[in-house]
Amino acid sequence: MPQQERELRSGYTTGACATAATRGALLALLGQRVFAEATIRLPQGTLVTFPLHTCSFTSSEGRCSVIKDAGDDPDVTDKAEICALVSWSDEPGVSFRRGVGVGLVTKPGLPVPPGEPAINPAPRQMIRDTVAEVLADAGAGARGVMVEIAVPRGVEMAQKTFNPRLGIVDGISILGTSGIVVPYSNAAWVASVIQAIDVAAAQGCKHLVLTVGGRSERSAQAIYALPEVAFIRIGPFFGPALKHCRTAGIERVSIVAMIGKLAKFAGGNESVHSTASRQDFDFLARLAAQAGADAEVLQRIAVANTAQEVAQLLANQAVFFTLLCERAWEFGRSLLGAACLDIVLVGINGEVMGRHSMASAC
């Protein structure tokens, strides 16, 4: 009997870690002593206790850090040290300052304006609420507090995120709406795609090019002469990206992809992630039959291992690739609505293998 898979473990966002570090630092400043842990309230009301990795204080400031535990979610910030430096401020309320490794916002369209630290609204509110609670419990009144968040390896981590493309420079973003990272939910990835679309729209881009990853993006950049911000890497999330383009008012969308992902999408899958959809070789065989493939080729398609293998079997059947693009276009239009849609299928060397669009409508 196969061994039952263990339950996947949830983790905590950078925003929750920053809040816990802030609480520890403020407690250290107020109490002039070191604390081993800090308990915070997440937005939905759950209390969570974080061990403090470091904690120190002087008469004018408190410092604490938390090691982020992302649970079983693949995350570039897993095990990152999230640091908070808390000091008193002459300004009322809570002010935010970026430390090393936290990005600076430089472009419009993000949840915080240019010139601000890349600390999203939900973590900012968690930190404000936590500071207010600690001050009230200590009877310290409504003193102004400066909170500086830092991530020592944040500049390095940011190179593996969408931040450079979004105009967030020199570090990562402090993110999270619930405080909890749900393993393999891909919520952060989808949120990054949506954010990238919003940034492009805010800069006046009416034509966006959606690609799966770096290789298809390079092919797309050779086809379309558009600013860098117009090229959006959507990973496997075709459906959420197209739906958001629809609500964001994008007038034209071009999808440039290789056959593995495009074939899944053409078969009616909004997500082409390996955990969400499988390659439908019966669907591909039906298209091949429409393109005039003979019985022997159809049999080989039925037992193929990958869509790339199917592409090799049909290398001389240009009609097949056109039909595949047409099916992808039909499904894409059902998600995108009235905006113009182009579908471009590219090969492993960047060559255009097929395409479909309603040129007269665009």
292 and 195 within one domain: yes
Q: At a CB cut-off of 8 Å and minimum separation 6, what does 137 contact?
A: none
Range of 108's domain? 11-181
116 and 200 within one domain: no
173 and 55 within one domain: yes
Q: Which of 171-201 are b and which e, b meaning 16 or more Cβ less than 10 Å from the residue's Cβ?
A: bbbbbbbbbbbebeebebbbbbbbbbbbbbb
348 neighbors 360 (Cβ within 8 angstroms): no
pLDDT at 166: 81
pLDDT at 74: 63
Q: Looking at 154, 181, 208, which one is the last position of a domain?
A: 181
Mind listing the pLDDT tens digit for each residue in 53-86?
A: 999 999 999 999 999 998 876 678 999 999 999 9
The residue among 96, 63, 75 whose CA lies nearest residue 11 is: 75
Rounded to an integer, what distance in angstroms lies between the CA atom of residue 309 and that of residue 285? 12
- 6 lies in some domain: no
The residue among 235, 273, 281, 274 whose CA lies nearest residue 255 is: 235
207 and 156 within one domain: no
68 neighbors 77 (Cβ within 8 angstroms): yes
- 355 lies in some domain: yes
Tokens of 59: 């008469």
159 and 211 within one domain: no
Mind listing the pLDDT tens digit for each residue in 89-147?
A: 999 999 999 999 999 999 887 888 999 999 999 999 999 999 999 999 999 888 999 99
- 111 lies in some domain: yes
Average pLDDT of the chain? 91
194 and 162 within one domain: no
In this structure, what CATH number is given to the domain that contains residue 89?
A: 3.30.2110.10
Tokens of 223: 């086809």
Q: Looking at 181, 199, 215, which one is the last position of a domain?
A: 181
Rounded to an integer, what distance in angstroms lies between the CA atom of residue 168 and that of residue 190? 18
- Asked if residue 6 has pLDDT above 70, the reply is no
Mind listing the pLDDT tens digit for each residue in 189-215?
A: 788 899 999 999 999 999 999 999 888
Q: Which helix (H) or strand (E) holds 181?
A: strand 180-181
- Asked if residue 182 has pLDDT above 80, the reply is no
142 and 161 within one domain: yes
Collapsing DSSP to helix, strand or coil, 328 comes out as helix
- Compute and round to an integer the Cα radius of gyration of the chain: 25
Beta bridge partners of 172: 102
Put simply, whether the predicted model's pTM sits higher than 0.85 gets the answer: no
192 neighbors 110 (Cβ within 8 angstroms): no
Average pLDDT (324-332) is 97
10 Å Cβ neighbour count for 155?
Answer: 16
Q: Looking at 181, 212, 243, which one is the last position of a domain?
A: 181
| Domain total of the chain | 2
